[in-house]
Amino acid sequence: MGRDIDIPMSDLESLDKALRNIADEFEHAGRNANQLEGWIGTPHGESGLRDEIDRFESAWNDKRDTLRDSVISVQEQVATVGKSWADFDSEAAASLDNTTRTPQVEE
């Protein structure tokens, strides 16, 4: 009593691309935080806000790396599913081409 699964290949491809973009964003987040600290500077001679951003970035860094690795793992699985289905589809189509040819009748 199975149920059909209907996932368009375009959806798998979109998901794969989105997950790659998310992983890339996590990869460069530290650089973005450093830029933010530079932009904030020390307004009115105070560095409290910049210090808090640095503290947050340090605490978040390890968690971000773990999350990035998880996103990459999911992305790789999505890519594998997409490739497997594409390969299966190609093989099934080739098989149908071979079996649907009209047999020649010997007289």
Looking up tokens 């600290």, which residue turns up?
A: 37
pLDDT for residue 101: 58
Residue closest to 13 by CA, chosen among 86, 88, 102: 86
For 72, the enclosing helix (H) or strand (E) is helix 48-99
Q: Look at residue 99 in the predicted model and tell me its pLDDT.
A: 67
Other Cβ atoms less than 10 A from the Cβ of 10: the count is: 8
pLDDT at position 67: 93
Q: Report the pLDDT value the prediction gives residue 76, as an integer from 0 to 100.
A: 97
Domain boundaries, the chain: 9-97
Q: Indicate whether this model's pTM tops 0.85.
A: no
pLDDT tens digits in sequence order for the chain, 107 residues long: 568 778 889 999 999 999 999 999 888 877 777 777 777 877 788 888 888 878 888 888 878 889 999 999 999 999 999 999 889 988 988 888 776 555 565 65
